Amino acid sequence: MNMHSILNPQEWYDLNRFILQLNDSEPPVITLYLPSYEIATGSKILDEDTDIPGLEDVKGTIALKLNRAKYHSGSICVFGWSKRGKSIVKEARISKEVPPLYLVHPKPYVKLLKDILEIGYQIVVIIMDHKKAKIEVYNGSELIEDIVVRSYLKGRHSKGGWSQKRFQQNRELQIGYFFNKVNQQLNGLKTDSIELILLGGRGLAKNKFLAGMESRLVARTRVISGISPDTSKAEITRRVISILDKMRKMNELKLLAGLASPAKHGLVIARNKEIEKKIKEGAVEKLFLAADYYATSPKENSLIKRIIGLAKKKGSTIEFITDATARQRLHKFGNLVALLRYK
């Protein structure tokens, strides 16, 4: 499986660095997420909340930033707190759209940003019975497409004899036609990019459908229990995120296990300047960056951003290592590590 980020590598790095900067916050913290087209409503939201004593100056600073902000695609994310009587306000602009959220909490609420930083896999969720199938396509934890396929299957026949037999034959034909329609929708999703298909629903429909799927898709399909056409989108998203977390950890650990052998042959380097040189030569196959790596100086930060930009231009694969266990393994080599191409 090839891992990829929902954001482009440069934006991923900038947003991850921004989140790390929020570690210095002091409670309470104002968190405000706004899609760009709702920036004008931000000041109104702040004015309506009068229950945060001690943060009046912070609210004023945030409102000033919002009033000066110009429309752009994506979202604006603002965090503010008071430190030794001084208002601290940090702002990030991202290309992804987030739902509006206002919150006062002891810590910055960064879950929405961390969800965006998660490694993205294309996952398809199919929830079906014999009468209806919902096909939901996720890029990471983001639902990007929702398809409904319906069957015209009638209820069970109560009469016996030839009438019952004919009814059953017709029922099987209708089920087969319904499954074909679902398969047509599935095959129209550019199936080569689908990493995983989650198949669930009440009754035996999911098992019958699995038996008729193409072998190349069966290998990527996992039957799951506990979901039905009535299951809420929030619950389905929760299940998807849980599976994404497991997939990400498994694949990150697998990637890092593959560094041991080339490291013995001098094909793994961890000095930033040397990495930059090798990337310019087109000698780097993969670039690994730990999500907890924070460049401590503007010069170092500029170098890391330059390295990421060069890696993308030269066709090197960029892997952001986010899982805690995987990061510990990467740290044995360094925070930023390059795997060189075999000559």
The reported pTM is 0.75
Instruction: Name the pairing type of β-strands 119-120 and 4-5.
Output: antiparallel
Regions of the chain where pLDDT drops below 70: 1-6, 50-52, 71, 119-120, 153-163, 343
- First-to-last CA distance in the chain? 24
Residue pair 175/130 in contact (Cβ under 8 Å)? The answer is: yes
The pLDDT, as a whole number, for residue 6 is 66
The pLDDT, as a whole number, for residue 153 is 65
Give the span between the Cα atoms of 113 and 118, in whole angstroms: 9
Neighbours of 143 (CB within 10 A): 15
C-alpha closest to that of 149 among 167, 129, 122, 169: 129
**Domain 258-340's class?**
alpha beta
Cis omega (within 30 of 0) on the bond before 28? Answer: yes
The model's pLDDT over 257-289, given as tens digits with 9 standing for 90+, comes to 999 999 999 999 999 999 999 999 999 999 999
C-alpha closest to that of 88 among 166, 22, 2, 162: 22
The pLDDT, as a whole number, for residue 2 is 44
Judge whether 119-156+171-251 and 258-340 match in fold: no
Give the span between the Cα atoms of 118 and 5, in whole angstroms: 7
Q: Is 54 left (phi over 0), alpha (psi -120 to 50) or beta?
A: left
- HSE, side-chain direction, 13 A CA sphere, residue 221: 20
Q: Is the torsion defined by CA of 309, 310, 315, 319 positive or negative?
A: negative
The pLDDT, as a whole number, for residue 154 is 61
Domain parsing of the chain, residue ranges: 4-117, 119-156+171-251, 258-340
Give the span between the Cα atoms of 299 and 92, in whole angstroms: 21
Domain formed by 119-156+171-251, architecture: 2-Layer Sandwich (3.30)
The model's pLDDT over 42-74, given as tens digits with 9 standing for 90+, comes to 878 887 776 667 788 899 899 888 888 776 788
The pLDDT, as a whole number, for residue 163 is 66
For residues 146-174, one letter each, b for 16 or more C-beta atoms within 10 angstroms of the residue's C-beta and e for the rest, the string is ebebebebeeeeeeeeeeeeeeeeebeeb
- HSE, side-chain direction, 13 A CA sphere, residue 199: 22
Give the span between the Cα atoms of 257 and 260, in whole angstroms: 6
